[in-house]
Chain A
Amino acid sequence: MFGEVTISILLLTGLGLLFATILAIAYKKMKVYEDPRIDRVESMLPGANCGACGMPGCRAFAEKLVGMEMNLVKCTVSSPSSVEKIATFLGIDAGGGEKVVARLLCAGGTKESSRQVAYSGHLNTCRGEAAIAGGTKDCNWGCLGWGDCADACDFDAIHMNANGLPVVDIDKCVACNDCVEICPKGLFTLMPTTQKLIVQCKSLLAGEEALARCSVACNACGRCAADSIPGLIEMSNNLPVIHYEMNELTSPVATVRCPTGAIVWLEHEKQFEDQVTSGLAVGQVDTGEFDEDIYYQ
C-alpha cells in the first residue's frame, strides 16, 4: 500500500521533472527573439486598434516603429505627450506633425437648407436616406443630419447639434478618417489646424440656384478670390479652391465680403459645448473683429 503511493509520487515527480527539462531546453533552443521594446512601445500607444496608421492594430504599428519602418506621425490618435514619450524612448524624432482634425464642409443645417418632401423610410441613417434618390434635402451636396459620422466616431469627438449638423470637438478628434469614409456626401475632410481659411460648402451650383436650396451656400460670386492675394484662391466648378500650399498667405480678408458666409476664418473657435448647444456650425461662430491694419500691411 505504502509502496504503491511512494512509487506513484516518485514516478509523477520524475515525469514532471523530465518534461520540465524538455520544455526548458525547448524554450532555450527554439526561442524567437522579440525586441523587448515592442512591448514597451505598445503599452505607450493608445491601444484603440483604430487602424488609422494603416496597420491592423497597435501591436503591428509598434513592431514597425521599433523596426524604424514607419513614422511616429502616422499614429494620429496618440496625445502629444505620449508621442513625446515614445520618441524619447526610441530615441527618434517625434516628427513634429501638426495637429490634424476633421472639418465639416457644409454649414446648411435644418435652418438653412429645407426639405421639399419628407423622408419616411425606416432606415434612419444618412447612408440609408442617401440610397433613396440621394436624400430628400433640397441641396444635393448637403449634410443629411442623421449623424452617421457621430456613430462612426470611436473617440466621441462628433456630436450632432440642435441644427442637425455634426460638430467636431477638435481636442478629441484624432483624424482617424472614420467620419470621412462614412459620410455618403463626402463632407468631411482632414485638415491641419493651421489651415484657418475653409470653404464650408460643396454645392456646385451658382447664384440664385444655389441660394434657393440653402441660405448659406456658396453662390460662386468670386469675391473671396478677388480679395485675396492673387493665386491663393481660385474659382473652380462654382466653388473657391484654396491653395493650401500658400497657407501662410491666407487671411480673414477673403471672408469679409462673402455674402452668405460660406467661406470662414476659424480664429476664435467657440468651445465645443457652445457649438453643440448654440446650433451653429463652426464657421458661423462670431469670428471677432479682425485688425485690418495687420492684414493689409
Chain B
Amino acid sequence: MTTSATLSFSHGVHPEYFKHLTDAKPIEQMPFAETYVLPLGQHTGAPSKALVRKGQEVRRGQMIAEPGGFVSVALHAPVDGTVTGIELVEMPNGKMGPAILLRTDPYSTQQLNLTPPTPPEEMDLKTFLISIQSSGLVGLGGAAFPAHVKFSIPEGKTCRYLMLNGAECEPFLTSDHRTMVEHPDAIVDGTAILQHFIRAEKIFIGIEENKPDAIAILTEKFNRSGLPAEVVPLKVKYPQGAEKMLITSIIQREVPSGKLPLDVETLVSNISSIAAMSYWFRQGIPLIERVVTVTGTAIHRPSNLLVPIGTSMQEVVNYCGGLTNEVSRILLGGPMMGMVQKSLNSPVLKGTSGILALTSREVKDLEEYECIRCGKCVDACPMHLNPSLLGLLAKNGLWEEMQDNYVFDCFECGSCSFVCPSGIPLVQSFRVAKGLLREQQAREKAKATAV
C-alpha cells in the first residue's frame, strides 16, 4: 500500500461540498441551556432503562439510564439539575419516544467531578467492553450503533485491520474534521486503548484529501505514537466515508453482500468515537456532549459547537444567530443522508453530526418524469446495484423482485437520486420497499414459530 497514489472506490458522485462555511472555525463550547430532553432510544438497539424518577437531582455525568440489553448503552446527565419527568417527545426520525426531561440547576458551576475507571491496560476484554457500554459510547458518525457491540469480535472472526473513519464525505459537515485538528492526542490515545484489545496488524486512518491540515497533524502524531498506524489520504468523492467504500478504497477488498466488515478482517470506527473513548478512560467523562456542525446557507453564523446531548435544536440554532428568512429545509446530518426535520423541537442526540439549514437554491425539487434509461444512477451507485431497475420495480410494487435484485445491499447513500435527471425518488422508494419486505419477513417468521 502506498500513500502516494490517492485511494478510492469505483462509482460514487461529486456533490458540491460547502465545507468552507465551517472548516476553519474552531469548536466552541455551547452555553448550558435551561432544559434538556434525553430520549431513551437514541441509539440503535434496545432503548435504555431510566434509573431516575421525577424530582430527583442529578449530577453532570451521572448515569441516568442503564443499558436495556446487550445492543444498548447507558445514558448520562449532561448537566447538574433536576428530573422534571419522563415523557413522550418527538424524535428527529419523526417517531415519538420516551425521554428523560431535565431542568438545569441555575446555581451550579457545572464542574465535572468524575473519577475515571480502572486504566484499560489493566482490564480484560470483557470488562473493557462493559466499561464502554456504561460510558454510553455509540458510533458518532450518525447511525449511533453501540460501540461495545462493534468492538466485540465474534468467535472465529479475526481483525487484521483497524480503520478509523475520518473521511467525512457528506457535504457541509466538519465536526470530525475539527475534532481531528483540535484533538489529535485524544484520537491517538483512544486508538492505543482500542489497539491494546484488538491487536490489529495494521491501523489505517482514512481521511479525504480536502482536509490536509488533519492529514498532516495526525500523520505526525501517529508516527510518534509507535502504533502500526498509517494515515491514508482518500480521494474526495461521495460516499467515501461509507464503511464498505472505505474498506474497498484502503485494502481493495469488497465486503460480500449481506456480510460485515469483519468478514474481510476489518473493523471500522468513526474517528470522533475514538476520541470520546479516550475521554472516558482517562478522565471518566461519559458521552454527554458531542461536536455538532451547525451550518447551511440559511444559518446566520455557521459554527462547530460542542453541544451537550439533549439540547433542543432550536437553542442550538438560536445560538448560531438563528435562521435566515430564506430557509427552505432543515436536516439533521448531512444533505445526502440526513433526516428531514418538520420542526426544531427535537433534541440533539448522540448520533447528530450536524444541523443543516438549506435555502431553496440548494434544495433540488425537480418535477418527476419517466425514467429515460440514461444509466446515470447505475454509474453512481457505489454498491454496483441497478437503481433504475429497482426504481421501476418499486413503482410497480414488485417488492420480492427488488429483493432478488439486492435492494437490501442499498445503504441509502442517495447517489442515485442525486444524479437522476428525471427527479425519480429512488432512495425513498427503496426505503419503502425495505420496510415492507422486513415487515413481511417478520410476519412470516412469526407465523413459522407459531406453527
**Which of B343, B429, B440 contacts A123, CB < 8 Å?**
B429
Q: Which of A107-153 contact B (CB under 8 A)?
A: 116-117, 120-123, 125, 127-128, 130-136, 140
Tell me if B94 and A133 are in contact (CB < 8 A).
yes
| Closest residue on chain B to residue A127 by CB atoms | B432
Given contacts A116-B342, A133-B341, A136-B342, contact A125 B432 (CB under 8 A): yes
Tell me if B435 and A127 are in contact (CB < 8 A).
yes
Residues of B within 8 A of A116 (CB): 342-343
Within the assembled complex, what's the spacing in Å between the Cα atoms of A181 and B365? 31
Tell me if A134 and B93 are in contact (CB < 8 A).
yes
Tell me if A120 and B425 are in contact (CB < 8 A).
no
Tell me if A121 and B428 are in contact (CB < 8 A).
yes
A-B contact count (CB 8 A): 58
Tell me if A121 and B425 are in contact (CB < 8 A).
yes
**A86 CB–B CB distance under 8 Å:** no
Tell me if A204 and B88 are in contact (CB < 8 A).
yes
Within the assembled complex, what's the spacing in Å between the Cα atoms of A131 and B439? 14
Q: Which of B413-451 contact A (CB under 8 A)?
A: 423-425, 428-429, 431-432, 435-436, 439-440, 443, 447
Report B373 CB to chain A, min CB distance, Å.
Answer: 18
| Closest residue on chain B to residue A184 by CB atoms | B435
**Which of A117, A122, A140 contacts B95, CB < 8 Å?**
A140
Residues of A within 8 A of B424 (CB): 122
**A83 CB–B CB distance under 8 Å:** no
Q: How many residues of A contact B (CB 8 A)?
A: 23
Tell me if B428 and A128 are in contact (CB < 8 A).
yes
**B217 CB–A CB distance under 8 Å:** no
Tell me if B436 and A127 are in contact (CB < 8 A).
yes
Within the assembled complex, what's the spacing in Å between the Cα atoms of A233 and B340? 39
| Closest residue on chain A to residue B341 by CB atoms | A133
**B339 CB–A CB distance under 8 Å:** yes
Tell me if B365 and A117 are in contact (CB < 8 A).
no
**Which of A122, A131, A136, A204 contacts B368, CB < 8 Å?**
A122
**A205 CB–B CB distance under 8 Å:** yes
Residues of A within 8 A of B105 (CB): none
Describe A's contact surface by its main secondary structure: loop
Report B341 CB to chain A, min CB distance, Å.
Answer: 7
Within the assembled complex, what's the spacing in Å between the Cα atoms of A127 and B342? 17
Tell me if B339 and A133 are in contact (CB < 8 A).
yes
**B209 CB–A CB distance under 8 Å:** no
Within the assembled complex, what's the spacing in Å between the Cα atoms of A120 and B423? 12
Tell me if B96 and A133 are in contact (CB < 8 A).
no
Q: How many residues of B contact A (CB 8 A)?
A: 27
| Closest residue on chain B to residue A118 by CB atoms | B342
Within the assembled complex, what's the spacing in Å between the Cα atoms of A120 and B365? 8
Residues of A within 8 A of B90 (CB): 140
Within the assembled complex, what's the spacing in Å between the Cα atoms of A122 and B425? 6
Tell me if B342 and A128 are in contact (CB < 8 A).
no
Residues of B within 8 A of A128 (CB): 425, 428-429, 432
Tell me if B439 and A181 are in contact (CB < 8 A).
yes
Within the assembled complex, what's the spacing in Å between the Cα atoms of A134 and B92? 9
Within the assembled complex, what's the spacing in Å between the Cα atoms of A199 and B94? 24
Within the assembled complex, what's the spacing in Å between the Cα atoms of A140 and B440? 23
Q: Which of A140-186 contact B (CB under 8 A)?
A: 140, 181-182, 184
Residues of A within 8 A of B341 (CB): 133
| Closest residue on chain A to residue B96 by CB atoms | A140
Residues of A within 8 A of B439 (CB): 181
Q: Which of A54-107 contact B (CB under 8 A)?
A: 54
Report A60 CB to chain B, min CB distance, Å.
Answer: 16
Within the assembled complex, what's the spacing in Å between the Cα atoms of A120 and B429? 15
Tell me if B93 and A131 are in contact (CB < 8 A).
no
Within the assembled complex, what's the spacing in Å between the Cα atoms of A125 and B397? 12
Tell me if B365 and A123 are in contact (CB < 8 A).
no
**Which of A54, A131, A181, A182 contacts B428, CB < 8 Å?**
A131
| Closest residue on chain A to residue B422 by CB atoms | A122
Tell me if A123 and B425 are in contact (CB < 8 A).
yes
Chain B 93-112, CB-CB to A under 8 Å as 1, else 0, gives 11110000000000000000
Residues of B within 8 A of A181 (CB): 439-440, 443
Residues of B within 8 A of A122 (CB): 368, 423-425, 428
**Which of B94, B339, B429, B447 contacts A135, CB < 8 Å?**
B94
Report B338 CB to chain A, min CB distance, Å.
Answer: 11
Residues of B within 8 A of A204 (CB): 88, 96
Given contacts A140-B90, A181-B443, A204-B96, contact A123 B428 (CB under 8 A): yes
Residues of A within 8 A of B92 (CB): 133
Tell me if A140 and B94 are in contact (CB < 8 A).
yes
Within the assembled complex, what's the spacing in Å between the Cα atoms of A256 and B424? 50
Tell me if B93 and A133 are in contact (CB < 8 A).
yes
Contacts A131-B432, A133-B342, A135-B94 aside, 11 further interface pairs with beta carbons under 8 A come to A121-B425, A122-B424, A123-B429, A128-B425, A128-B429, A130-B94, A133-B339, A133-B340, A184-B435, A204-B96, A205-B96
Can you list the 10 inter-chain pairs with the closest CB atoms, starting with the nearest?
A134-B94, A133-B94, A122-B368, A127-B432, A131-B431, A123-B425, A122-B425, A117-B342, A140-B96, A133-B340
- B-side interface residues toward A, CB under 8 Å? 88, 90, 92-96, 339-343, 365, 368, 423-425, 428-429, 431-432, 435-436, 439-440, 443, 447
